[in-house]
A and B are shown apart, each in its own frame.
Chain A
Amino acid sequence: MSVVSYGFRTGVSAFFEMATPDAEAVLPAYLQPIEVRHQRSVLAVTAFLFEDSDVGAYTELMFSVIVPPQVAKWGEHAKAGFYPYLAATSSAEARRQRGERFHFQYLDEDIDVRFVETGDRCQVKAWARGEPLVDFSVTQRTWEDTSHLLQGYSNCENHRYRSTVQISGRYTVHENEQGSMTLYPHELTAPLLAQEITPYPFREHWFKNGREVFHSLEQF
């Protein structure tokens, strides 16, 4: 697969603690969750506002379990891995394309995601058919330029895929526990509502004006 690049205006990713058995239930047998502490794994709730892509502008909401990256050789390995398992976008074309390219599974309906910046906070609100899906927020610390090398895992018809993703842009991260999340009942969020997920993120990432570049998709 050739390199594919998506320019974004805003990207927000909040890390919440979830019970490890719940994370294990989501993951295929060959992946294991990273634990922040004993029996507590990581649910990443991520939203992007893409402005520059080959399917135009659109928004995306994704729930992933954080997994360890494959350690190959020092100097080449990614910083973290993620396994998206609940995802939705505002554009049918975007989910068709990303679904085909990366084998991520998307909700088969358009959603709407808004990013509201007030003071030092970015509030993300997502709806489907006018009904709220999730509200979550992160706050800023100091901004710096960053470049994150990640591995995205996906599964399709018993095939295992791994993509290498580089996210660059202006970036702030901290663990001051100032963010929040409220989930609303919906087909997408139903599996989460029954679980014990912390109502605040332990880590808050916020990107601005950057690019998400998919470098490779390997079957392994």
Chain B
Amino acid sequence: MPDAPPSPPGAMEYDYTNFYFGAGEDAFALLAPFDDWWQDVKPAGYYLYELPLHTAPSTRVDVEDTKTHEIRKGLINFASYNYLGLSYRPEVKEAIKEAADIYGGGSSGSPILSGTTLLHRQFSDEIASWKGKEAALLFPTGYSANVGTIAGLMRSGDLIVADQYAHASIVDGMILSKATSRFFRHNNVGDLDKKLSRHEGKKLVIVEGVYSMDGDVPPLAGILEVCRKHNARLMIDEAHSAFVFGSTGRGVAEEQGLEDEVDIHLGTFSKSLGGQGGYVAGSSQLINYLRGFSRSRFFSCALSPVVVAGLRKALELSRNEPELRDKLWENVAFMQRTLSDLGVPTGDSTSQVIPIMVRDDARIFQMGEEIFREGVFINPVKYPAVGKHKSRFRMSISAAHTKEDLSEGAEIIARVLRRYAICP
């Protein structure tokens, strides 16, 4: 019989899920074990998160390497959400400066008290008009838009069914609502049908426009048919699809010709508009109700007027320059082709979010470090953010990328992946 003591696995085999519950009575019981683990794993790869940028999130960025304390200059940026390259446009910066002159830095109040400026009112009207909806409500972030909308509408005893890949902000809204929660198999209409059955009472189904880790889109027609069958309302979070999908940029619901059928349209300003904040748009009755019941908006300071001014200009540019979307889709097609020619595995993306599927949890940080040092800024994603052995680099394409950025970036990534036999 072997009698060696048990040997714990190496530090990198642990992850955040192992520090969620603790044994001790003290509320701080988990701090020290987590910190000790963190000191071990940070240099091995976790340091690749939260690297400070020293420049705007444009297509080339200077990023601080917190391991070596060097500034890595001119990296090709596939990490930022700036899908239309709007956040640093001179027109946007000018609008921000003008607003700062008038309003100063912040809004100094909840939107329902003193925090609503003329800019906020104009912008929410513009969002409603752009979406072709009766009304819209602004939130401080996309996260709070989801939390406030879901928990504002649904109650204990109701049923919420979301796609299994739904973003954390959707899940947190479900938790806060105290409704019964179910998740259907990703994009699987038959499973949604099953999950909606055997429940009497109010039902809400939640999908995303573009899934943030996979870059694929929902089959809305089938989902709507099932929603109707079960008398469920449908909400779509177009965080990654608003302003880029559809002939006028209104999102995946527009692209699939089903805008009027979807009951609740939600999105963020942090991705394609390159700013910050979230919105929900729909009927004036819906918006009026949520104005009173969305606690994440009601009890939180309104967006800074400076941010709103930049967003108004970014919205205007995105509406007036449809060629930005054309350029984005041209870039996406070019990058898909380039990666495919290089044999880089990319999953089922049909959007500007392209996962580079390395499926190697043990070595993804090593690859990430090499890609970073060789000239590309891109985020590694591994368990528990995605399933085990579904680790990937999450690539964001922007309309602002040049073909040279894309080719050079793809070449660097492929060169590193070749060393790991992930591409030929």
Contact between B389 and A39 (Cβ–Cβ < 8 Å)? no
**Complex: A213 Cα to B7 Cα, angstroms:** 11
Q: Which residue in A37, A74, A203, A215 is a CB contact (below 8 Å) of B183?
A: A37
Q: Which residue in B14, B20, B33 is a CB contact (below 8 Å) of A79?
A: B14
Contact between A166 and B6 (Cβ–Cβ < 8 Å)? yes
**Complex: A79 Cα to B9 Cα, angstroms:** 8
Say if the beta carbon of A159 comes within 8 Å of chain B: no
Contact between A69 and B18 (Cβ–Cβ < 8 Å)? yes
Contact between B33 and A74 (Cβ–Cβ < 8 Å)? yes
Known: A38-B171, A174-B388, A175-B388. A78 touches B8 (CB 8 A): yes
Q: Which residues on the A side are within 8 Å of B18 (C-beta)?
A: 69, 71, 77, 79
Say if the beta carbon of A149 comes within 8 Å of chain B: yes
- Shortest CB distance A86–B (Å): 24
Q: Which residues on the A side are within 8 Å of B185 (C-beta)?
A: 177
**Complex: A32 Cα to B20 Cα, angstroms:** 12
- Residue interface bits A6-42, CB-to-B below 8 A is 1, else 0: 0000000000000000000000000010100111100
Known: A32-B21, A174-B389. A74 touches B6 (CB 8 A): no
Known: A37-B164, A37-B171, A38-B174. A70 touches B23 (CB 8 A): yes
Q: Which residues on the A side are within 8 Å of B21 (C-beta)?
A: 32, 34, 68, 71
**Complex: A148 Cα to B2 Cα, angstroms:** 16
**Complex: A74 Cα to B39 Cα, angstroms:** 11
**Complex: A148 Cα to B7 Cα, angstroms:** 9
Known: A73-B33, A74-B37, A174-B389. A39 touches B9 (CB 8 A): no
Tell me the dominant secondary structure on chain B's binding face: loop
Report the nearest B residue to A164, measured CB to CB.
B6
Report the nearest B residue to A15, measured CB to CB.
B388
Q: Which residues on the B side are within 8 Å of A176 (C-beta)?
A: 387, 389-390
Q: Which residues on the B side are within 8 Å of A68 (C-beta)?
A: 20-21
A residues near B (Cβ < 8 Å) are: 2-5, 32, 34, 37-40, 68-79, 141, 147-149, 164, 166, 173-177, 202-203, 211, 213, 215
List, sorted by A's number, 10 A–B pairs whose CB atoms are closer than 8 Å: A34-B20, A37-B164, A38-B181, A71-B23, A74-B32, A78-B8, A79-B18, A166-B7, A174-B387, A175-B387
Report the nearest A residue to B5, measured CB to CB.
A215
Q: Which residues on the A side are within 8 Å of B5 (C-beta)?
A: 215
Q: Which residues on the B side are within 8 Å of A39 (C-beta)?
A: 180-182
Q: Which residues on the B side are within 8 Å of A71 (C-beta)?
A: 18-19, 21-23, 29-30, 33
Q: Which residue in B8, B20, B164, B174 is a CB contact (below 8 Å) of A149?
A: B8
- Shortest CB distance B124–A (Å): 30
Contact between A34 and B17 (Cβ–Cβ < 8 Å)? yes
8 closest A-B pairs (Cβ-Cβ)? A175-B387, A68-B21, A74-B36, A70-B23, A74-B33, A74-B37, A215-B6, A174-B389
- Shortest CB distance A193–B (Å): 15
Q: Which residues on the B side are within 8 Å of A173 (C-beta)?
A: 388-389
- Shortest CB distance A138–B (Å): 13
- Shortest CB distance B392–A (Å): 13
Per the 8 Å Cβ criterion, residues 154-200 of B in contact with A are: 164, 171, 174-175, 180-183, 185
**Complex: A148 Cα to B6 Cα, angstroms:** 10
Contact between A5 and B1 (Cβ–Cβ < 8 Å)? yes
**Complex: A2 Cα to B5 Cα, angstroms:** 11
Contact between B20 and A202 (Cβ–Cβ < 8 Å)? no
Q: Which residue in B3, B14, B181 is a CB contact (below 8 Å) of A3?
A: B3
Report the nearest A residue to B23, measured CB to CB.
A70
Q: Which residues on the B side are within 8 Å of A202 (C-beta)?
A: 387
Say if the beta carbon of B34 comes within 8 Å of chain A: yes
Q: Which residues on the B side are within 8 Å of A203 (C-beta)?
A: 387-388
**Complex: A14 Cα to B3 Cα, angstroms:** 29
A149-B7, A166-B7 known; 19 other A-B pairs, CB under 8 Å?
A: A3-B2, A4-B1, A32-B21, A38-B181, A39-B181, A70-B22, A71-B33, A73-B32, A74-B32, A77-B8, A77-B18, A77-B33, A149-B9, A164-B6, A166-B6, A202-B387, A213-B2, A215-B5, A215-B6
